[in-house]
Amino acid sequence: MIPVRGVDGAKVAVLGLGRSGLAAARALRAGGAEPICWDDNPATRDRAEAEGFTCTDLSRQGAFEDVASLIVSPGIPHLYPHPNPVVLAALEAGVPVDNDIGLFFRSFATSAWDNHDTPPRVVAVTGSNGKSTTSALIHHILTEAGRASQLAGNIGRGVLDLDPPEDGGVVVLELSSYQTDLARALTPDVAVFTNLSPDHLDRHAGLGGYFAAKRRLFAEGGPDRAVIGVDEPEGLFLADQMAEGPADDRVIRVSVSRKMTGPGWQVFSRKGFLSEYRKGRQVGSIDLRAVKGLPGAHNHQNACAAYAVARTLGLAPKVIEEALRSYPGLPHRSQVIAEADGVTYVNDSKATNVDSAAKALGAFPRIRWICGGLEKEGGLGPLLPATGSVAKAYVIGREAANFAMQLNVEAEICTTMARAVERAMAEAEAGDTVLLAPAAASFDQYDSFERRGEDFMAEIKARLAG
């Protein structure tokens, strides 16, 4: 646990008692604060009270008297599309609003570091797509290289549940826009921006607000090193803002769309080959085509970003290459779950928006595509140019018919996962990939994208076993 600093004797309100909220309450108590907790879910409140926390309805009149601050869980809106009533009450009372990420960054470094030969470091990864894989890949590379590493944030453990870092240890954080938008402290040693595509637009009042939330990790934090994907205008802009000039190697530019050989520090991938250039000269190269855990150009972008971070942390290219080859991949993200009779089965249930689904479609030559679900704002138009490898789509979800009408490939309305898997497997031929890449949220039929992916895997495995 990372006890929160600077709160001894203070009354601190905690709104939302899921994984991050309950961890924040524990860390606040460990730092000497008096946590006052609330969640709309009675079962969640019961769990908190079982740990000895006081639960008080923070929406009642006068709830913020003598409260020093409000800690808000990431899923709770604080501004758009409209503030949660409790957050609004705190704002009106002038009570500072923060989240667990802000608490972490202000509490992570302690006097115990005086005894370390090498100070611990924090790597923070944000972006629209690939941030989970990039974070997990950095953690994997460090672990394989014998470096002490912990993975947390939007993946793995809550940030305040982490162990105090070892000498030379590295904490790798995956941070969503919900987390970076509100944190009052953001001070990573290395910050990573993977890419940007439209997502969560209602929560940020448009694409500009969404980008601004992610940009805070760099603008507020002032990292020693910034690893930035520059295949979109926003990334180019961010890299330009962070650098003093073309040769400023505090910024490492990452691309999977072009070769970059300028005077600075670049890592890019073309035709499956990763290249590192510094001061106009190539200093490293890795063939990514044989890395099974990282199929497709979108995963090659993740590999480039993770490679750049590992180089910043002092690892040699050969050490990184060896670790990449042993990377198993993450569940529900380009996850190869089976191969039978020449057909490959891939679970990419995390492809919940059109951009991530388009990247998944670009990773395989001939696809039986299972798609559909709760459609996100903006429609499917940007996805259609990426469907050239699709032999047929099998559409699931409550609005499957409407979803199918927007596609430019042959589509069969299946509605359920069981029917979609049955039909895709029946029609798949040797060389095909049966791919779940929904391009939609899961909440019309499932509690989460994980549940959707698990259902897909269970259907595949049951049919192959039978």
Q: Which residues contact 169 (CB under 8 A, 6 or more apart)?
A: 120, 121, 147, 148, 149, 150
Q: What pairs with residue 371 in β-bridges?
A: 395
461 is in an annotated binding site: no
In the chain, the amino acid numbered 139 is H
CA dist 337 and 346 (Å) reads 6
The one-letter amino acid code at 409 reads V
Q: Is the dihedral of CA 339, 303, 141, 154 positive or negative?
A: negative
Task: Find out whether 131 is annotated in a ligand binding site.
Answer: yes
Nearest to 38 by CA among 52, 55, 50: 55
Q: Which two tokens stand for residue 457?
A: 């895997």
Q: What strands lie across the sheet with 343-347, from one edge to the other?
A: 335-340, 343-347, 433-436, 367-371, 390-396, 411-415
Residue 168 marked as a ligand binder? no
CB atoms within 10 A of CB 465: 6
- Tokens 């890395």 identify what position? 291
Q: Specify whether the CB–CB gap between 150 and 161 falls below 8 A.
A: no
Beta carbons within 8 Å of 305's beta carbon, 6+ residues apart: 125, 130, 134, 192, 194, 227, 229, 254, 267
Q: Which two tokens stand for residue 80?
A: 């758009």
The closest of 434, 426, 439 to 335, measured between CA atoms, is 434
Residue 133 corresponds to which tokens in the numbers above? 């894989």
- DSSP three-state, residue 461: helix
405 three-class SS? helix
Specify whether the CB–CB gap between 370 and 438 falls below 8 A. Answer: yes
Distance CA 44, CA 58 (A): 15
Is the peptide bond preceding residue 81 cis, with omega within 30 degrees of 0? yes
Say whether 415 counts as a known binding-site residue.
no
3-class secondary structure, 270:
strand
Strand partners, 118: none
Element (H, E) at 193: strand 190-193
Question: Is 132 one of the annotated binding-site residues?
Answer: yes
Q: Which two tokens stand for residue 456?
A: 């897909």
**Residue 253: closest CA among 223, 272, 277:** 277
Total residues found in the chain within this entry: 466
Q: Cα–Cα distance between 278 and 280 in angstroms, integer?
A: 5
User: Residues 15-47, buried b or exposed e (16+ Cβ, 10 A)?
Assistant: bbbeebbbbbbbbbbebebbbbbbbeeeebbee
Residue positions in the annotated binding site for ATP? 127-133
Which positions make up the binding site? 127-133
